[in-house]
């Protein structure tokens, strides 16, 4: 997706609508490509607890993880 960001006081304010639009119209091709290449993907669902993301492995296994300045931390298996 090619878009130009408008100049504003906060460049981040212009970036969020672009990211949200890209997420809404995602067809899953990039995620499938990562899984097919043997790499995990990260995403959130409506019931994902705040501050956590789902990490899905190519074999279908899923975990809830969180990130901080020290890196990624496994919290528990995802249902």
Instruction: Please tell me what DSSP assigns to residue 21.
Output: H
Q: What is the pTM of this model?
A: 0.69
Instruction: Tell me the CA distances in angstroms from 15 to 2, 21, 35, 68, one per residue in order.
Output: 12, 10, 27, 22
Beta bridge partners of 42: 55
How confident is residue 18, by pLDDT bands cut at 50, 70 and 90? confident
Between 16-20, 70-74, 75-79, the lowest mean confidence (pLDDT) is in 16-20
- Is the pLDDT at 11 greater than 50? The verdict is yes
User: Using an 8 Å Cβ cutoff, are 52 and 64 in contact?
Assistant: yes
Encoded tokens for 37: 């290449």
- Select the more confidently predicted residue: 12 or 58: 58
Radius of gyration, alpha carbons of the chain: 15
């Amino acid at each position: 997706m090619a878009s130009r960001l408008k100049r504003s006081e906060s460049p981040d304010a212009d970036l969020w609508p672009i990211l949200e639009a890209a997420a809404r119209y995602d067809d899953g091709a990039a995620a499938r490509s990562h899984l097919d290449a043997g790499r995990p993907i990260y995403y959130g669902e409506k019931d994902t607890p705040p501050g956590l993301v789902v990490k899905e492995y190519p074999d279908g296994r899923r975990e809830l993880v969180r990130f901080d300045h020290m890196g990624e931390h496994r919290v528990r298996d995802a249902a």
